[in-house]
Amino acid sequence: MFRAQTRVAISGTRFRINDQLTYAGRERVEGMLFNVRTVNAAFDDTLGRVDWWDDDGSRPEYGRAGYGRWHSPGSAQANTARYVAGLPQYRERGILAVNLCMQGGHPLNGKPWIAEGHGSAGARTNGHRDFYHNSAFGPDGAIDPAYGERIASVIETCDRLGMAVLLQLFYFGQDTVFGDAEGIRAAVDRAVDWIGERGYHNVIVEIANEVMEGHYHHPILKPGQVVELIHRARRRAETRGRRLLVTTSEAAMLNPRQWTDAQIDEVFSACDLVVIHGGDNVETGQVGDASDLVQKIDRIRSSPWYRAAPRPILTNEARGRQAFEALLPRGVSFGLHSMLFQTMYLPRWGVWDNEDRWFFDRVAQLTSIPRARSQA
């Protein structure tokens, strides 16, 4: 029987795990929550129209290795099992949170040989659902038992490792599984109940990944209405005697065609933590202190509601060493988004040599406890 060992909480602008500040005693990072985007850890495709390969990261013809054609549900179970086996490697390097999503991520990113992957899912009438199905939720909000068990295996492994999970409920490629807003509301209720019934205390709920005007098909998942779901999830947990941390993440927050100032303030003032996305935009020179991440931080921290009640700011989808170093002195937790092996389907899990190895090495350097010098 599962018994929770890990509880995540917030004190002001800092995170606590089991009542202790994260990275306690490491002054530069104390209270932060370094994390990694691994949203396809529970992926499955039950349509079978895309030529996926059950792939761990080194199939020869793509520079990656394959286990063979994807067969649901066996390949899904194998993928999650490999991910769970790699989780200790993240923890050993100081990563204290991972990102999951009950509708996955964009598995076609970085796959130019799959034509359907081009263009925005929001521009398609049915999102990505004409060519693959990856959703823990059915149209009525019910949770698929097999998908739920894969998510559970990750949450419970993280619990044993002393790690938190940022659990995203909705993704814009798959939100058209719901016929209307009632199905989405029901899914929020089912997810909150499921977290409580299973006794998880290491979960932070992120309502939807990359909320913006253009991504989602349902208005309730856009900036003008998503605050309803933030309040709904928190109240649902409270009526069942639980305190649940709830947030959502943004995309293109600084673009007035995607977010108005009023929407920014309404949505993020309702969140327990603020989740922003972005990174070094090398092609435009917007790197480091000039990055969009820093501009978003300044926008949030200048708000009256934030000054009145400061809370953690975190990114769980960011790129670039210079962005990392710009966030560090600002006390903002960096979350790695890697096209190479975190979103591109299917990744080789764990820590291995690639262009984003710097992140794991840098976090390990910052979060390790220096060895005491021997006395002469």
Query: 42, 45, 67, 48: which is closest to 57 by C-alpha?
Result: 67
Helix (H) / strand (E) element for 92: namely helix 74-92
Mean pLDDT computed over 324-345: 84
Q: pLDDT tens for residues 264-284? A: 999 999 999 999 999 998 888
Mean of per-residue pLDDT scores for the chain: 91
For the segment 237-251, what is each residue's pLDDT rounded down to a tens digit?
999 999 999 999 999
Q: What pLDDT does 344 receive? A: 47
**pLDDT band of 363, cuts 50, 70, 90:** very high
List of long-range contacts for 230-239, beta carbons under 8 Å, 24+ apart: 230/267, 230/270, 230/271, 231/270, 232/185, 232/188, 232/189, 233/188, 233/191, 233/192, 233/205, 233/207, 236/188, 236/189, 236/192, 236/193, 237/192, 237/195, 237/196
pLDDT of 374 strictly over 80: no
Element (H, E) at 263: helix 261-269
Tens of pLDDT, residues 84-125: 999 999 999 999 999 999 999 988 877 776 777 777 888 899
> Among 51-65, 223-237, 239-253, where is mean pLDDT lowest?
51-65
Does 195 have pLDDT greater than 70? yes
Q: What are the residue ranges of helices labelled H in 108-210?
A: 145-161, 181-197
DSSP 3-state assignment of 95?
coil
User: Percent of the chain, pLDDT > 70?
Assistant: 91
Q: How confident is the model at residue 375 (pLDDT cuts 50, 70, 90)?
A: very low
Instruction: With cut-offs at 50, 70 and 90, classify the pLDDT of residue 341.
Output: low
Q: Which domains are assigned to the chain?
A: 8-367 (3.20.20.80)
**pLDDT for position 116:** 75
Q: Are strands 64-69 and 203-208 parallel, antiparallel or unpaired?
A: unpaired
Q: In this predicted structure, what is the pLDDT of residue 370?
A: 63
Average pLDDT on 330-351 reads 80
pLDDT tens, residue by residue, 148-162: 999 999 999 999 999
Residue 376 confidence (pLDDT) above 50: no
CA-nearest of 13, 17, 8 to 333 is 13
